[in-house]
């Protein structure tokens, strides 16, 4: 059975979702879009962290994981690391995952991490809002941009709530299934 290890910030942690308004039983929500894609789920995300720490936390979690694992990462704003872009941090995790044979799917909270300098073949980008709904329609879109532009309900601290996560998981499902079933073989970690 495939385990999803998800990295990110408060959007992947599930801040303000009903099952984790202030931490929940596991600390994180099981209602986020990566959790909804998974049959078995491990959350390596944490609210407010930057892309460097996202990459480090995912690696740390993978160090004790075995068997069939796929990785889903939602990158955050580079300014959290006091950087203009996060290419180095993203590329570092991408190379690590590829070297160790992990299947992965990246997305982002905001398209500011998309510089055009990376390999985006294992990324999922959200569709733009219809022009009549948004003045800021352009592709690619990150999860947060997509949710706000499509007027999904957000909590008081501006985190998209359950319906946005449910619809995001539905949009991502085909790309996720493609990644999970890639070559119809488990990864080679531990073999």
Residue 31: pLDDT band (50, 70, 90) is: very high
Residue spans of the domains in the chain: they are 3-184
The model's pLDDT over 112-130, given as tens digits with 9 standing for 90+, comes to: 999 999 999 999 999 987 7
CATH of 3-184, one of 3.40.50.1110, 3.40.50.300, 2.60.40.10, 3.50.50.60: 3.40.50.1110
189 or 60, which is more confident: 60
Q: Which residues contact 72 (CB under 8 A, 6 or more apart)?
A: 4, 5, 6, 7, 34, 37, 104, 105, 106, 107, 176
Work out the average pLDDT over 42-69: 93
Least trusted range by pLDDT, from 20-24, 55-59, 139-143: 20-24
Supply the mean pLDDT for the chain: 89
Look at the chain and count its residues: 191
Contacts of 1 (CB under 8 A, 6+ apart): 39, 40, 68
Residue given tokens 């499902």 in the structure block: 173
Q: Please give the pLDDT value at position 106.
A: 98
What does the pLDDT look like over 135-180, one tens digit per residue?
A: 665 678 999 999 999 999 999 999 999 999 999 999 999 999 999 8
Please tell me the predicted confidence (pLDDT) of residue 183: 46
- pLDDT value, residue 26: 58
- Does pLDDT of 98 surpass 90? yes
């Amino acid at each position: 059975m495939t385990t999803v290890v998800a990295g990110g910030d408060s959007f992947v942690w599930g801040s303000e979702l009903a099952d984790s308004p202030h931490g929940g039983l596991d600390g994180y929500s099981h209602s986020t879009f990566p959790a909804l894609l998974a049959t078995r789920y491990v959350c390596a995300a944490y609210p407010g962290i930057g892309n460097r720490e996202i990459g480090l936390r995912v690696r740390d979690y993978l160090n004790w994981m075995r068997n069939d694992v796929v990785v889903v990462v939602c990158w955050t704003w580079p300014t959290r690391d006091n950087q203009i872009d996060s290419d180095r941090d993203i590329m570092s995790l991408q190379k690590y995952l590829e070297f160790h044979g992990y299947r992965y799917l990246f997305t982002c909270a905001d398209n500011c991490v998309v510089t055009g300098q990376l390999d985006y073949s294992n990324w999922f980008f959200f569709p733009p809002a219809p022009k009549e709904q948004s003045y800021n329609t352009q592709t690619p879109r990150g999860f947060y941009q997509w949710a706000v532009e499509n007027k999904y309900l957000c909590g008081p601290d501006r985190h998209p709530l359950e319906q946005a996560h449910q619809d995001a998981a539905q949009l991502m499902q085909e790309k996720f299934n493609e990644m999970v079933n890639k070559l119809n073989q488990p990864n080679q970690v531990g073999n």
